[in-house]
Chain A
Amino acid sequence: MSAKTTRRDMMKTISLGVGATLLSPILDQLAAHAAGDERRAIRKRVIFVMQSNGMSPNHLLPSGLKPAPNGRWTNDTLEEVSLKDRTLHKAIEAFAPFQERIALVQGLSGRIALSDHSTNHGALGCYPASKGPMAQTIDSAVSDALPGTFPHVAIGYGGSTDVMNYSYSASGPGKSIPIICSPDLAFKSIFGSVAEGAGRKAFDRRTNLLDFMADDVKRSRATLVGEEKQKFDRYLEAFESLGNRQRELLAKADDLKKNAPKLGDKLTTSTSSLILEAQFEIATATLLAGVTNVVTLISGGGGQRFGSYPEFGIPDLHGVGHGAAYGRTSSEDCHVELRQFHTKLIAGLVKKLASVKEGDGTMLDQSLIVYLSDSGEGHHPNLREWPVVLIGNLGGKLKTNGRYLRLPQYGAKNHRTMANLYCTLLHAVGKPRDKFGIADPALKDIDQTGPLAELLA
C-alpha cells in the first residue's frame, strides 16, 4: 500500500452488499468510516511483543544514565528524564527515529509471577507462572475493548517446532489462547480464504461444511454430561466462529488481497529469525488490512523454550543466560545482538503504521506497542523490576512522548506493579479496571490498585 492511500479511500471501495445481517462490529466500523464518521470509525490498536530470556534494564538506559549500583535501584520516588537530545542504548537504537514517541519504563515489579525462567501466562496475566492460565491475560482483555474480525491475532516463534503455543495468552480461566508459530498457518488462517482465490463456489461449499459440522458436533455433545461436554464446546465454537468469520473476510476481500504479504520461502522456513520476520510482516499486514486491532507477537515459547538462532551463531539462549558468549567478548554481546534484531522488526512495524494515513494523522497515532520479556529483567529474573518499552500513545491516551521513567523501587510507598501498567492500558482503551491479576502478597501494605497516573494522559 502506498503512503498516499488512506484507509478511508480503501474502505470506500469495499462492497457492503453482503447484507445487513452480516454486519459485525468491524463492518459497522467500515460503514461508519465510509460514511464519513471519522471519530467513530478510528479504532485503537495495541500490539504486544514479548521476547524471551529477559530484557536487561541497562538496555533501557539512554545516554547520561548509569546502571543501578549493585543491580538494584533505590529511588523512593519517580525519577524521570526526557529522551530529547539523548542517545538510546545500542540494543534499542532502532527506536531512535521515533524516540519522541516512546516511554522507557523501569521499576515496575511483577513478583507474583516469579519463576526460575519464563513467567509463562504470568507475564501478561499478573499471576503465578506455574498455575497455567488462571485468568484472562491483558492482551485478551484489551481485545475485548477493541473488537475486530479477528478479536486477537496471536502469532510468533515459539522456540520449538510446535506450530502452536499455549503458554502466554488466555481468554479466561483454563482457556489458553493458541499462538500460531508457523507463518504458513498464520497466513492461511488470516489471508487464506481470499488470497488463495478459491472463489464463490468454494466459499459456499465451505459454508455448508462448517454448518454441517457445527450441527454434527452439537449432536455428539448431547450424548455427554458435565465436564465431558466442554471438550466438544470449543470444537463447536470453532466451526461456528470460522463460519461467521469467513463471511466477514469475504466482505473484506479487496483489503486482504491488497495487503497480503508476499512471503515466499519464509512461509515454511524453519530458521528462527526468518519465522519472526515473516510473522512481523503478517502482523503488520493484518493491522493494515483492518481485520484486527490487537496482536500478540511472541519470540520464545515459555518455560525454557527460549529459542535458538544458529543462523546468528547463537545456538542456545539458555547458554547465553548463563554467560556463554559463543565467540563474542561476553554473553552481553549476544543479548544485544538479539535485541537489535527484535527491535528492528518492531521498528519496521512502527514505520509501516506511521506510513498509512488515518483521519488527520496516521495509523501509528492510534496505536500502542508494548514490548517486554516474559522473564522480566533477566534469564533468572527476580522481577523486582520488569522493564517495558511503550511506543505510541493510543490516540493521545498515554503520555509516551519521549520519556524515561524510573518508578519507585520495590517496597517503596509509591511502588507500582505490572498490574498497574495493565490497568492503565485498560483505562486507555475504554474498559477501565483498577485491579488486574493477583496482588503481590509481599506488598500488602502498598496500594496495588489503579492505573499509573504517571502514564495516563
Chain B
Amino acid sequence: MTGIFLNSFAMVAGTALVLPLSAAADEARQKKAAAFVQAHCVKCHGPAKQAGDVRLDNLSTDFAKDRERWLAVRDQIRDGLMPPAKEPRPSADEAKAIVLGVTSSAGIEPGRLPNQGNLIPHELLFGKSAAPAELPYARVWRLNPEGYMGFVRDVFRGRADGIVQPFTVIPERGIKDFAGLYSIDEPTTDILIRNAETIVAAQTAHTIKDGKMSGKNDTVGEFVKLMDPFVPPTRQQLEAAIQLQFRLAIGRPANANQVTRLLNLYEKCAKVDDTPNAVKTMLQAVLLCTDAMYRSELGLGNADRNGGRRLDPLELARAVSLALGDRREASIMQAAQKGELNTKEQVAEHVRRMLNDPKIEKPRLLKFFREYFEYHKATDVFKDRPADKIRHIPSVLVGDTDRLVQSILADDKDVFRQLLTTPMAFVNTTTKTNKQTRMQELVPVDIVPKQDPKRPPEWLGGVDAVYGFKAWPNRQPVELPKETRLGILMQPSWLVAFSTNFDNDPVRRGRWVRERLLGGTVPDLPIGVVAQVPDDPHRTFRDRLTVTRATSCWKCHQHMDELGLPFENFDHYGRFRTSETVRDAAATEKNVDKKGKSLGPVNREAELVISGRIDDSGDATLDGIVKDPREMVRKLADSDRVRQVFIRHVFRYFLGRNESLSDARTLQAADKAYLESGGSFNALLVSLLTSDSFLLRADAANSQTQPFTGKETK
C-alpha cells in the first residue's frame, strides 16, 4: 500500500497565490483589518493580557510581513471561533470583509487534503474579479487502487492469480484520490515486486512437449519464445520484448536509453542465472518503473499560445482515460500516437465520444457521486434487526441509489437539480439477464419469504417497505409517495450512511450540507471536547441534541445542526416517519406483573419537529427557516452558489487537487458550460477536461524556479 502524505504542519502545499491588487486597495484593506484587530482582539491579546499566549497588538499592518499570524487571525474569524461569544460580535459582513481582504492580500494556499478545498472563499472563485490563470506545475499522480488493477488487466489478459492490491487511499470521508497525497513506500514496493513476478510468470507460462515449447492461454507469444533455456535470445528479440512490455504497461514505446539500460540488466542477470530468468527479470523491471505506477503529467508537449506547455498527447490520452475509467482507452491512445490529439477540440471530441459510448466503461463517474454524496457508506453502519420487522439490507439501498444516479446521468438534463430533488427512486432492485431476450432487466433483490401461519411472522416488510411501498413496483424508477422523499439526500442509503448504530446523525448530515452544498467550513473537534449525545430513550433525538447549544459547542455546531435536523423526518433505517418513538417513563413504571416485576419498557410516539434553518450560507436567498427537508433541498437546488460548490467538487475529483485562485476561470467556464447545456454533466466534464487547468502545465524552464513555500518532509 502506498505511503500517504497526510496533512501536517511540516508540509504546506502549493504556491502562495497573491491576487494582483492596486497598492491603494491593498492599503485600504490592511487599514481596515488592523482596525478590526484593534477593536475585537487586542483586549485579550494585547499588552495587558495575552490569552493563549497570543499577542496581536504588534501585528504588522503589512500582511506580507506578518503573513502566518494574519492567516491565523483570518481562520479564527472565518470559523466563527473568535471573538468569543461573551464579547461584542462583528457583523457577518464585517467578518466576511476581513476574511476576503486578508485572503486576497496575504495570499492563500489550497489545502492538501480534499476536505480542505473549501478553505478558499467561494466569492474569490466565482466573483467578478477572478484571478488571472497561473498554470499548474508538472506533476505525477500515483495510480489509484482501481487504476492499478486496470494496469494489471492491460499487461495480462488472462487470470493472474495471486495479485495483491498494493495501493490504498486515505480513510477520510469524501474524495480520496488526489495527485498530491500518495507516494510508494517499502512494503508497497515489496508487493509490487511480487505482483510483477506473478504477472511475468503468467505472461511467459508455457509447456514443453516433445521438445517443443508452447504458451498457455493468454500468454504473450513474443515473451514465450524467449523461455528456451538452450537458445539464448537475440538482441533483436530482446528489444522487441522490451518494446512490447512498454506498450502493454505504459502505452508508449521505450526510448533508446531505456532499451539500453534494460538490456544491461538482462546481461547482468544472464551472468548469474539462465536466460529465461534473466528475461523475466528484465520484463518485471518495466512493470515497476515510475511511468507505469504513476500518471505522468509533466507538460512535455508543445508550447501553448496562452503560455506554458501542453501535456504531450500520450500523457493527455492517459490522463483523460484515467479521469473517466481505470484503463487506457484504446481509441484516444491511438489518436495520440497518430498526432490527432493536438487541439482542444480534438480532445473535446474524444471526451464526448467516450462519454456517449455506453460500451466504454467509465467507473470513475459513478465513483465521483459515491464519494461526493457518500451514500455508499451505508454498508459500513452496523444495525440491529429493526423492531418493526422491516428488512434492512444496506447493500440493496446503495445499489438502488447507484441506479438512480446512473439514470439521472443517462438523461443528462438538469443533473444537479435532479440529484437533489427528483421524486423518483429505484426500489429494491438488481439486474438479471432474461434468458429469452438476453437483455438485462430489473428484478427485486429481496423478497420477504412466505410466512408460516403457525408462527409469528419473522418479517413484516421487505426493502420495498423502507421506501413506503407494500409491493415491488414493476415500473422503475418509480415515483415515491407524495411529499415523503426527494433526491439523494432522502434516499435511505444516504440517511443510513449518515446515521449511527442506534440513531440518526443530524450533526454529520448538517456538516455534509454545510461543506458539500454551501461550500462552508467546520473546524475540527477542539481538544478536550467529548462529542457525545446523551443516551436517553425517553427524549427525542432533537431534544437530546440540545446539549450542543452550550456556548462553547454552538460555535461550531451552529454551522451544522440546523442543516441536519430536517432529516429527522426519517428514522435511522431511512424510513419516513411523522412521529418519533421514545420510551414512556410513566407507562413503563406501571408495566409490571402482579408481583411488581417489570414486564418491559413501554414506548410512546412523540411529536416530531422537522424544521431547520439555513444560516450564513453566503447566498442571501437561502438564509432562513425551512419547514421540512423537502423545502430545504428545493431551496438549495435553486441556488447558484450551491450549484457552483458542486462544480468545485467535480473539479477536485477529476483534476485530483483542490482548486486554487488561478483556477477561477476554469471553474466559471465549467459553470457556464453546464448552464448553457441545460445542466448536462457531460458538458461540464468536457469543459473541465479541456480546460487550461487540465491540459497545460507551467513551462518546465520556469518550473525550475518554482517558488515553493513548503518545507520538505524529513
The answer to whether A132 and B137 touch across the interface, beta carbons within 8 angstroms, is no
Query: Is B240 interfacial (CB-CB < 8 Å)?
Result: no
Query: Is B265 interfacial (CB-CB < 8 Å)?
Result: yes
* Alpha-carbon separation in the docked complex, A316 to B500 (Å): 12
The answer to whether B139 and A228 touch across the interface, beta carbons within 8 angstroms, is yes
Chain A residues lying within 8 Å of B142, measured Cβ to Cβ, are 231
Query: Is A262 interfacial (CB-CB < 8 Å)?
Result: no
User: Which single member of A111, A167, A212 contacts B528 (CB below 8 Å)?
Assistant: A111
Query: Is A188 interfacial (CB-CB < 8 Å)?
Result: yes
B75 shortest CB reach to chain A, Å: 15
User: Which single member of B4, B187, B289, B525 contacts A189 (CB below 8 Å)?
Assistant: B187
Query: Is B382 interfacial (CB-CB < 8 Å)?
Result: yes
The answer to whether B527 and A128 touch across the interface, beta carbons within 8 angstroms, is yes
* Alpha-carbon separation in the docked complex, A14 to B165 (Å): 36
* Alpha-carbon separation in the docked complex, A130 to B298 (Å): 33
The answer to whether A235 and B164 touch across the interface, beta carbons within 8 angstroms, is no
Query: Is B10 interfacial (CB-CB < 8 Å)?
Result: yes
B545 shortest CB reach to chain A, Å: 15
* Alpha-carbon separation in the docked complex, A381 to B529 (Å): 10
The answer to whether B1 and A164 touch across the interface, beta carbons within 8 angstroms, is yes
Known A115-B525, A130-B525; contact A380-B532, beta-carbon cutoff 8 A: yes
* Alpha-carbon separation in the docked complex, A228 to B700 (Å): 13
Chain B residues lying within 8 Å of A212, measured Cβ to Cβ, are 261, 265, 285
Chain A residues lying within 8 Å of B703, measured Cβ to Cβ, are 225
The answer to whether A174 and B713 touch across the interface, beta carbons within 8 angstroms, is yes
A231 shortest CB reach to chain B, Å: 5
Known A128-B527, A132-B8, A227-B180; contact A178-B188, beta-carbon cutoff 8 A: yes
* Alpha-carbon separation in the docked complex, A238 to B5 (Å): 16
The answer to whether B190 and A164 touch across the interface, beta carbons within 8 angstroms, is no
* Alpha-carbon separation in the docked complex, A299 to B150 (Å): 31
Query: Is B198 interfacial (CB-CB < 8 Å)?
Result: no
Query: Is A66 interfacial (CB-CB < 8 Å)?
Result: no
Query: Is B284 interfacial (CB-CB < 8 Å)?
Result: yes
Q: In the complex, what residue of chain B is closest to A228 when comparing beta carbons?
A: B139
Tally of chain A residues near chain B (CB < 8 A): 76
Chain A residues lying within 8 Å of B83, measured Cβ to Cβ, are none
Query: Is A318 interfacial (CB-CB < 8 Å)?
Result: yes
The answer to whether A226 and B137 touch across the interface, beta carbons within 8 angstroms, is yes
Known A205-B278, A208-B268, A213-B285; contact A175-B3, beta-carbon cutoff 8 A: yes
The answer to whether A116 and B183 touch across the interface, beta carbons within 8 angstroms, is no
Chain B residues lying within 8 Å of A318, measured Cβ to Cβ, are 382, 500-501
Q: In the complex, what residue of chain A is closest to B13 when comparing beta carbons?
A: A227
Chain A residues lying within 8 Å of B188, measured Cβ to Cβ, are 164, 178, 238
Contact mask B102-145 → A, CB, 8 Å, 1/0? 00000000000000000000000000000000000111101000
Q: Which of B266-287 contact A (CB under 8 A)?
A: 268-269, 272-273, 277-278, 281, 284-285
Query: Is A39 interfacial (CB-CB < 8 Å)?
Result: no
B interface bracket (residues with beta carbon within 8 Å of A)? 35 or more
* Alpha-carbon separation in the docked complex, A381 to B10 (Å): 28
The answer to whether A220 and B273 touch across the interface, beta carbons within 8 angstroms, is no
* Alpha-carbon separation in the docked complex, A220 to B184 (Å): 14
* Alpha-carbon separation in the docked complex, A381 to B528 (Å): 11
One of B327-335, B602-610, B640-648, B704-712 at the interface: B704-712
A285 shortest CB reach to chain B, Å: 18
A249 shortest CB reach to chain B, Å: 12
User: Which single member of A205, A226, A237 contacts B272 (CB below 8 Å)?
Assistant: A205
* Alpha-carbon separation in the docked complex, A237 to B184 (Å): 10
Contact mask A275-301 → B, CB, 8 Å, 1/0? 000000000000000000000000001
B289 shortest CB reach to chain A, Å: 6
The answer to whether A164 and B168 touch across the interface, beta carbons within 8 angstroms, is yes
The answer to whether B168 and A162 touch across the interface, beta carbons within 8 angstroms, is yes
Chain B residues lying within 8 Å of A242, measured Cβ to Cβ, are 186, 189-190, 193
Query: Is B11 interfacial (CB-CB < 8 Å)?
Result: yes
Q: Which of A333-380 contact B (CB under 8 A)?
A: 380
Query: Is B185 interfacial (CB-CB < 8 Å)?
Result: yes
Contact mask A415-432 → B, CB, 8 Å, 1/0? 000000000000000000
Q: Which residues of A contact B (CB under 8 A)?
A: 111-112, 114-116, 128, 130-135, 162-164, 166-167, 172-176, 178, 180, 182, 185, 188-189, 201-202, 204-206, 208-209, 212-213, 215-217, 220, 223-228, 230-235, 237-239, 241-242, 301-305, 315-316, 318-319, 322-324, 380-382, 440-442
What are 20 A-B pairs with beta-carbon distances under 8 A? A131-B7, A131-B524, A166-B4, A173-B10, A174-B11, A176-B4, A185-B187, A205-B269, A205-B281, A208-B272, A209-B269, A224-B138, A225-B706, A231-B142, A238-B185, A303-B171, A318-B500, A319-B501, A380-B532, A441-B528
